[in-house]
Amino acid sequence: MASSTPVVLITGAAHRLGAHTARHLHQRGWNLVIHYRSREADANALRDELNSIRPKSAVAIQADLAAPDQTELLARKAVSTWGRLDGLVNNASVFYPNPTQDASPGDWDAIMNTNLRAPFFLGQACLPALKLSQGAIVNLIDIYSQRPLADHPLYCASKSGLASLTLSWAKDLAPEVRVNGVSPGAILWPEGDAAIDEGYQQSILAKTPLARTGKPEDIAGAIAFLLCDAPFVTGQILAVDGGRSLNM
C-alpha cells in the first residue's frame, strides 16, 4: 500500500543546492529520493542524516543521467520505494565553459544529455505516478537561459531548452500535473573547472540590485513554494537572483 507521506525525487541532490532543497523539503514533511551520479558518500551521508531525524524517510539512488537507459530505471526505483511520487525536481546540471571553436560532440552530449534530455525523459517516466498524485515538477533553469553567458553556448542552449520545456509541459500536462521553474542568480559560486575569480564575482554583484549573493535556502524555499504552496501556479519561471536579471 502506498505511503500517505508525499514523496519527491531530486536529481543531483547529494550536494550544493540539491542537498539544501532536500533538507528543506524533509523539514516540511516530505520523503526524499536523493539521486546522485558519483557522490555516493555525500548522498549516503545526507540519507543517513535525514533518516536520523525521521526514520525511513530518505533513500539514495545512483544513476548517470547522461546515459539514456538510466533515467527510466531511476524513475521506477523512485516510484517503487514508497509506491507514489508527488514531486520531481530536475536539479542536476553540467556547467563548464566551452567556446564554440573548441566545443566537441562529447561536450554536446555531456551537457545536453544531463541538462535537457534527462529532465525530459525522467519527467516522461515519472508522469504516470505524478498524474495519480496530482503532483508537480520544478525545473532548475538559470538566468543565463535568457541572457547568455559568454563562452557557454551549449550550457545556455540547454537551459533555454529547459525553460521552453517547462512552459510546454505546463500546457501539455495540465490539469493533472503542474510544471514550473526556478532560475537562480548568484547563489553558490561555481566550483572546479567552472570556477570564476573574485574580480568577476564582484562584477556580478555590482549588477545585482540587492548587492549580495543569495543563500541556498532562497532557492530551496522557492522550490518548496512551487511544490507545496502554489496549487494554482503553473507555467511560471521564478527568477531568484537579487534582481540581477534587470541589469544583464
Cα–Cα distance between 169 and 174 in angstroms, integer?
A: 8
> One of 36, 96, 155, 200 is an active-site residue; which one?
155
Let me know the angle formed at the C-alpha of 217 by 216 and 218, rounded to the nearest 5 degrees: 90
- Is residue 155 part of the annotated active site? The answer reads yes
**Contact assessment for residue 88 and residue 65, using Cβ atoms and an 8 Å cutoff:** no
**Contact assessment for residue 17 and residue 188, using Cβ atoms and an 8 Å cutoff:** yes
Please give the positions annotated as active site: 155
